[in-house]
C-alpha cells in the first residue's frame, strides 16, 4: 500500500460507471466528485432529488466535464430500492463500482416503510437489497468493486437475532453499532461468495474515521448532537479526508477483496488510507452466513449465482 495516498493517485476511471449512495453531502459527495474527476460516469443515488440536483451542480462546479446524474433512491423503502435498480438497468449495462455510503446514525426510534428499525433497515438491509439487485450487472466486468462503508462503531456492535428490529427495547447507539457491524459482515460474506464463484467482482469494506459530516447533526438526542458539533471542530478531519479510504477501496490497483480500509492514524480516527482493524465478530463467517440468510428473508432479495450464470 502506497504511503500518503491521495486523490491524485486515483487511476483513470474513463468508461467506468459508478453508483454512490448518500452522495448529496459529506463522504458520499466527496467520493462521487473524485470518481467523476477521474473520468467515471457517476450516478448519485439520493433520497432527496432536490439535494441531489444541488450535489450535481456542486460537482460540475468543481469538475466542469463531470459526467454525473442523480437518481432517486430511498434505502428505507424496498420498493424504492427496486425502482432505482430497475431504472439503472434500463440506462446502463451495469456498474463497475458500487459505493454503499448512505446511512443514519443514532436517530430517534423510527421504522422504515417496510417496518424495519430505521438504522438496521437503512444502513444494512437497504444496501443489501441494492447490491443484490445490481450485482448481476457487475458480473464479468473487469475489476468491478462493491465498497460498503462501516464505522469504528462496528467494534461495539452485536447482532441481536432475537430482537433485530429493537422492538423489545431501543438504544440508538446499540442500534447503530449493530447496523455498522452488519455492514462489515455483509462486505466480508459477499467477498467470500464472490471468491468461491471466481467472480470478477471484489467486495471491500471501508470507514472514514472520525470525519466532519452532516451525519452527526442528525443524531436524535439534542445534548449528544451539540456535543458532537463541538467535538467536530476539535477532532474531526474533513469529509474530503474521510472519503480517501472509500476511494482507495474503490479504485486503488490490486486491492484484494475482503480488505477493510480506514485512516492510518492513532485509533484510526484520521489519516491516510491503510488496512483497518475489523473485530472478531465482523470476521465470523458463521455469524455472517446467518445474517445473510435473514437479510434475504427480510428483503425478499435473493442474490443470483455469482459466477454470472442465472437460474
Looking up cell 446502463, which residue turns up? 92
Q: List beta partners, residue 223.
A: none
Q: List beta partners, residue 45.
A: 21, 71
The CATH superfamily assigned to 12-299 is NAD(P)-binding Rossmann-like Domain (3.40.50.720)
Complete DSSP assignment for 127-179: HHHHHHHHGGGTTTSTTEEEEEE--GGGGG----TTSTT--S---HHHHHHHH
Active site residues: 176
Q: Which three cell numbers stand for residue 182?
A: 452488519
Q: Helix, strand, coil shares of the chain as percentages rounded to 5? A: 45, 15, 40
Residue 240: its pLDDT value, please? Answer: 96
pLDDT tens-place string over residues 210-225? 977 655 555 555 655 5
Q: Which three cell numbers stand for residue 251?
A: 479504485
Domains of the chain by residue range: 12-299
Name which residue leads in pLDDT, 306 or 227.
306
Q: Is the pTM of this model over 0.85?
A: yes
Kindly calculate the radius of gyration of the chain based on its CA atoms and give it in whole angstroms.
18
pLDDT tens-place string over residues 221-252? 565 555 555 555 556 799 999 999 999 999 99
Pairing of strands 273-275, 260-263: antiparallel
The DSSP element (H or E) to which 222 belongs, if any, is helix 222-235
Residue 309: its pLDDT value, please? Answer: 46
Report the distance separating Cα 203 and Cα 207, nearest Å: 14
Report the distance separating Cα 256 and Cα 147, nearest Å: 12
Amino acid at each position: 500500500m502506497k504511503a500518503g495516498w491521495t486523490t491524485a493517485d486515483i487511476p483513470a476511471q474513463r468508461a467506468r460507471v459508478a453508483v454512490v449512495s448518500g452522495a448529496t453531502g459529506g463522504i458520499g459527495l466527496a467520493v462521487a466528485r473524485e470518481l467523476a474527476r477521474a473520468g467515471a460516469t457517476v450516478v448519485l443515488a439520493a433520497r432527496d432529488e432536490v439535494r441531489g440536483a444541488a450535489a450535481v451542480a456542486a460537482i460540475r462546479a468543481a469538475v466542469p466535464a463531470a459526467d454525473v446524474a442523480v437518481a432517486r433512491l430511498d434505502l428505507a423503502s424496498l420498493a424504492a430500492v427496486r425502482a432505482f435498480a430497475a431504472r439503472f438497468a434500463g440506462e446502463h449495462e451495469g456498474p463497475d463500482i458500487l459505493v454503499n455510503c448512505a446511512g443514519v446514525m443514532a436517530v430517534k426510534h423510527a421504522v422504515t416503510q417496510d417496518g424495519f428499525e430505521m438504522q438496521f433497515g437503512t444502513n444494512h438491509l437497504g444496501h443489501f437489497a441494492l447490491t443484490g439487485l445490481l450485482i448481476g450487472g457487475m458480473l464479468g466486468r473487469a475489476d468491478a468493486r462493491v465498497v460498503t462503508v462501516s464505522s469504528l462503531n462496528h467494534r461495539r456492535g452485536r447482532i441481536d437475532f432475537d430482537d433485530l428490529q429493537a422492538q423489545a427495547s431501543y438504544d440508538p447507539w446499540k442500534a447503530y453499532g449493530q447496523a455498522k457491524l452488519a455492514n462489515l459482515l455483509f462486505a466480508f460474506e459477499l467477498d467470500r461468495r464472490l471468491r468461491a464463484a471466481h467472480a470478477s467482482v471484489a467486495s471491500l469494506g471501508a470507514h472514514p474515521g472520525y470525519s466532519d459530516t452532516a451525519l452527526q447533526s442528525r443524531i436524535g438526542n439534542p445534548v449528544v448532537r451539540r456535543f458532537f458539533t463541538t467535538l467536530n471542530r476539535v477532532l474531526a478531519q474533513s469529509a474530503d479526508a474521510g472519503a480517501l479510504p472509500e476511494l482507495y477501496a474503490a479504485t486503488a490497483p490490486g486491492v484484494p477483496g475482503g480488505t477493510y480500509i480506514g485512516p492510518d492514524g492513532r485509533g484510526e480516527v484520521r489519516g491516510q488510507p491503510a488496512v483497518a482493524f475489523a473485530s472478531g465478530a465482523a470476521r465470523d463467517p458463521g455469524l455472517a452466513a446467518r445474517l445473510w440468510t435473514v437479510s434475504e428473508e427480510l428483503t425478499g432479495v435473493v442474490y443470483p449465482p455469482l459466477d454470472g450464470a442465472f437460474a
